[in-house]
Amino acid sequence: MIKQACGLAVLLLGTWASSSAYADLHLTPSQCQRYPFTKPASGEVTQRGLQRELGELEAVGYRPNAVDAYYPDDIEKAEKKLQTVYKRDCSGMTSQ
C-alpha cells in the first residue's frame, strides 16, 4: 500500500512538473521565426539544432528512453504541446 502511494505521488509530481514547465515556456519573436515544430525543416540539420529541439520536447514532458512502449505517441503529444505554445506566443506575427 505504501509502495503504491509513493508511486502515485511520484507520478503526480512528474505531471505537475511537466505542466509547470509547459506553462513557463514562452517563445521570443526570433524563436517564432525559426520554430521547428510548425513546418518541415529546411536547411542544414545541426547537432545544436537537434539538441535544442530535444530540450524543448523534454520541457513539455517528453522523456526519451532506449525502450519506449509509448513511442511515437509520447513524442507526438509533446510536439502538439509545443505547437500550442507556438500558436499562443507567435500568432499574429508575420513571417519574413
| Predicted confidence (pLDDT) per residue in 11-68, tens digit | 333 444 444 555 677 888 888 877 777 666 677 888 998 898 899 899 999 988 878 8
Among residues 73, 75, 90, the alpha carbon closest in space to that of 38 is found at 90
Q: How many domains does the chain have?
A: 1
| 8-state DSSP, 46 | -
pLDDT at 77: 94
In a domain, residue 63? The reply is yes
pLDDT at 55 (0 to 100): 92
Q: What pLDDT, on a 0 to 100 scale, did the predictor assign at position 51?
A: 92
Do the domain assignments include residue 75?
yes
Residue 96, domain member (yes or no): no
In a domain, 32, yes or no: yes
95 belongs to a structural domain: no
Q: Are 74 and 63 in contact (CB under 8 A)?
A: yes
Residue 35 vs residue 79, higher pLDDT: 79
Cα 3 to its chain centre, rounded Å, is 30
> Within a domain: residue 82?
yes
Residue 94 pLDDT:
56
Range of the domain at 57: 2-90
Question: Whole-structure pTM over 0.75, yes or no?
Answer: no
Tell whether the model's pLDDT for residue 90 goes beyond 70.
Answer: yes
